[in-house]
Amino acid sequence: MESPVEPRPFGLTAALVVWCLAVVVGIISGAVYTEHTHQVQALARQVPYLHATRYALLAVSILLNVFFALMVFLRHSWARIALLVLFLLAVLGLPGYLLAPGLALQAKAISVVCLLFQLAVLVVIFTGQRQAWFKRIVA
């Protein structure tokens, strides 16, 4: 006799959707606002394919975040650690981003708000019934 499928804990799906939206909004807003800074425009004149490289890296970042969020959704506990590492890397880069000259205040504010949303999601997926759900072995 098969064991019944254990339902996902309340809020996990919504938390992961919020994570993905925060990542996409944060990365795109940063890319749009930095596109027109004088430093980026000057560097683009000197370095061929700068914009293509930037957008490829942004796409890879978004895809990695979405992939790990999907893996969390599918009950892979290691993916929670991967999301935590990606979050910590973003936090480590935040001071340089916030102090960057010529970057619009809106981009900085959006990035901070997106990181706060991501922090809230990490709290959700690492605490309470969701923590226990990841620890239970699925038969």
Task: Answer whether residue 3 is part of any domain.
Answer: no
Task: Give me the pLDDT at residue 38, please.
Answer: 66
Domain containing 117: what range? 12-135
Task: Give me the pLDDT at residue 92, please.
Answer: 93
Our count of domains for the chain comes to 1
Task: Answer whether residue 2 is part of any domain.
Answer: no
Task: Answer whether residue 46 is part of any domain.
Answer: yes
Task: Answer whether residue 5 is part of any domain.
Answer: no
Task: Answer whether residue 4 is part of any domain.
Answer: no
Task: Answer whether residue 93 is part of any domain.
Answer: yes
Residues of the chain with pLDDT below 70 are: 1-5, 33-40, 44, 137-139
Q: What b/e readout covers 48-86, taking b as 16+ CB neighbours within 10 angstroms?
A: eeeeeeeeeeeeebbeebeebbebbbeeeeebbebbeeb
CB 79 within 8 A of CB 71: yes
